[in-house]
Chain A
């Protein structure tokens, strides 16, 4: 019966009562006032989206669910998940306007913000690709260079269980297309983040520092060194010699990965790019060795 009131403006207090999250508020007249006071502390607690803050915010000992770190309080009620959250249509603070209200195309449910919105959590339909969700978010890792690569595989496989086109035969054409795109994006995310060099280039890209594809350099020291290395690989006879060079390259790669990380953390993007350049050269040399082995 409460469904009748679905789209009318139900006072916040009543809704919250139904979720049995807070004790009864007695003065309906002061509801709007209450809104402000309730939400004010939240304005302080939530500053960014997809932050590492927990999905719940505590006020006076009561947890309120948040969406992407921001609490939405309002008259409309989500149909299925009564306990989860409420969505506010007429927000009186500006932050919500910039909030991406990600909605399922199928059931109009909003994203819960806890997991990246690739699949709707209520009706399980695959969503279209949203490029604002970056690779780190998709694979559920912190946006930093030094991530734990072992963790990526599990998350990658979990996503493919939900997104892989082979698993959506029964669904609509539209959804199958979404599945193909999402699945491809997840694969790209996994590949980019597992390889240290592509991860470095990607994380710089997220900071709007783009490595120029066509840049040419004349640094004599670096080029002479690389030339020597490539010639050594070319002339090396036998696997032992090759493996020796390979080990040297591994050391160099580790050195420059560390160098990249330091440069990145200190926002020294010139140095970061220099590290990437060297990593590229060593990676090519390594590929040549592998071909020969």
Chain B
């Protein structure tokens, strides 16, 4: 089962594919959809941005019942409000990893307001997740929202401090 073989995927360093992938190809009852296996074997956008970078929003969510943690980060262009890059790090089952991977792919090139409309059902459908794994896609949706929220709050804070600075200068003058 991919769940047993689930490991954190680090950058470009791929591990040997889990034996489950072989079983899936051999025509035995499919437990993980091809796309899920694909995301597991060919991970996209795994990595980390500097969380202190003002252009970066970090969403950190978890599913305590299965012990999953998911981190999704977006890099936003301040002027256009467009997400120019995204990356993720997920510790959990194959479905959770695939869901967050899909999420990073889908948010790239979109506006921050737009990605808030990405629904977990779309992710689940794309990956043909079974009912028992639907909460993994929910986790990915939560991660996107959390990342956007974090970016927005950072921006709000920096705007507030920018406004405060000229006021101080005026007061000094």
- A interface residues with partner B (beta carbon < 8 Å): 211-220, 222-224, 226-227, 230-231, 234, 276-277, 280-281, 283-284, 288
Chain B residue contacts of A216, Cβ below 8 A: 61-63, 135, 138-139, 142
The residue from B10, B60, B61, B67 contacting A280, defined by CB atoms under 8 A apart: B67
Determine whether the beta carbon of B63 is less than 8 Å from that of A227: no
The residue from B10, B65, B69, B146 contacting A227, defined by CB atoms under 8 A apart: B69
Chain B residue contacts of A218, Cβ below 8 A: 60-62, 142, 146
A213 and B63 alpha carbons, distance in the complex (Å): 8
Determine whether the beta carbon of A288 is less than 8 Å from that of B7: yes
Chain A residue contacts of B65, Cβ below 8 A: 211-215, 277, 280
Chain B residue contacts of A234, Cβ below 8 A: 7-8, 10
The residue from B91, B135, B138, B142 contacting A230, defined by CB atoms under 8 A apart: B91
B71 within 8 A of A: yes
A211 and B66 alpha carbons, distance in the complex (Å): 11
Query: Interface of chain A, helix or strand or loop or mixed?
Result: helix
A249 and B138 alpha carbons, distance in the complex (Å): 29
Chain B residue contacts of A222, Cβ below 8 A: 62
Query: Interface of chain B, helix or strand or loop or mixed?
Result: mixed
The residue from A214, A230, A288 contacting B69, defined by CB atoms under 8 A apart: A230
A214 and B62 alpha carbons, distance in the complex (Å): 10
Question: If the complex has contacts A230-B8, A288-B7, are A217 and B67 also in contact, measured as CB distance less than 8 A?
Answer: no
B64 within 8 A of A: yes
A212 and B66 alpha carbons, distance in the complex (Å): 10
Looking at the assembled complex, report how far the CB atom of A118 sits from the nearest CB atom of chain B, in whole angstroms: 31
A226 and B63 alpha carbons, distance in the complex (Å): 12
The residue from A211, A214, A219, A283 contacting B67, defined by CB atoms under 8 A apart: A283
A217 and B65 alpha carbons, distance in the complex (Å): 10
Chain A residue contacts of B75, Cβ below 8 A: none
B44 within 8 A of A: no
Determine whether the beta carbon of A224 is less than 8 Å from that of B61: no
Determine whether the beta carbon of A213 is less than 8 Å from that of B69: no
Question: If the complex has contacts A214-B138, A220-B60, are A226 and B8 also in contact, measured as CB distance less than 8 A?
Answer: no
In the complex, how many residues of chain B place their beta carbon closer than 8 angstroms to a beta carbon of chain A?
21
A277 and B139 alpha carbons, distance in the complex (Å): 16
Residue of B8, B10, B63, B67 most packed against chain A (CB within 10 A): B67
Interface string of B32-75 (1 = CB under 8 A from A): 00000000000000000000000000001111111101010000
A215 and B134 alpha carbons, distance in the complex (Å): 12
Determine whether the beta carbon of A223 is less than 8 Å from that of B67: no
Residue of B61, B63, B91 most packed against chain A (CB within 10 A): B91
A284 and B60 alpha carbons, distance in the complex (Å): 18
CB closest residue in chain A, given B92? A284
Question: If the complex has contacts A231-B8, A234-B7, A234-B10, are A214 and B64 also in contact, measured as CB distance less than 8 A?
Answer: no
User: In chain B, residues 55-112, which have Cβ atoms closer than 8 Å to a Cβ of chain A?
Assistant: 60-67, 69, 71, 89, 91
Chain A residue contacts of B135, Cβ below 8 A: 213-214, 216
Determine whether the beta carbon of B64 is less than 8 Å from that of A217: yes
Looking at the assembled complex, report how far the CB atom of A214 sits from the nearest CB atom of chain B, in whole angstroms: 4
Question: If the complex has contacts A216-B142, A223-B69, A227-B91, are A281 and B10 also in contact, measured as CB distance less than 8 A?
Answer: no
A230 and B8 alpha carbons, distance in the complex (Å): 8
Determine whether the beta carbon of A227 is less than 8 Å from that of B67: no
CB closest residue in chain B, given A220? B60
Question: If the complex has contacts A214-B138, A227-B89, are A280 and B64 also in contact, measured as CB distance less than 8 A?
Answer: yes
Determine whether the beta carbon of B61 is less than 8 Å from that of A227: no
Across the A-B interface, the 9 shortest Cβ-Cβ residue pairs: A284-B67, A277-B64, A214-B135, A230-B91, A280-B67, A213-B65, A223-B60, A223-B62, A234-B8
Chain B residue contacts of A227, Cβ below 8 A: 60, 69, 71, 89, 91
A230 and B146 alpha carbons, distance in the complex (Å): 21
Determine whether the beta carbon of B7 is less than 8 Å from that of A226: no
Looking at the assembled complex, report how far the CB atom of A82 sits from the nearest CB atom of chain B, in whole angstroms: 54
A231 and B7 alpha carbons, distance in the complex (Å): 10
Can you give 24 A-B contacts (C-beta < 8 A)? A212-B65, A213-B66, A216-B61, A216-B142, A217-B61, A217-B62, A218-B62, A218-B146, A220-B60, A222-B62, A223-B62, A224-B60, A227-B60, A227-B91, A230-B8, A230-B69, A231-B89, A234-B7, A234-B8, A277-B64, A280-B67, A281-B64, A283-B67, A284-B67
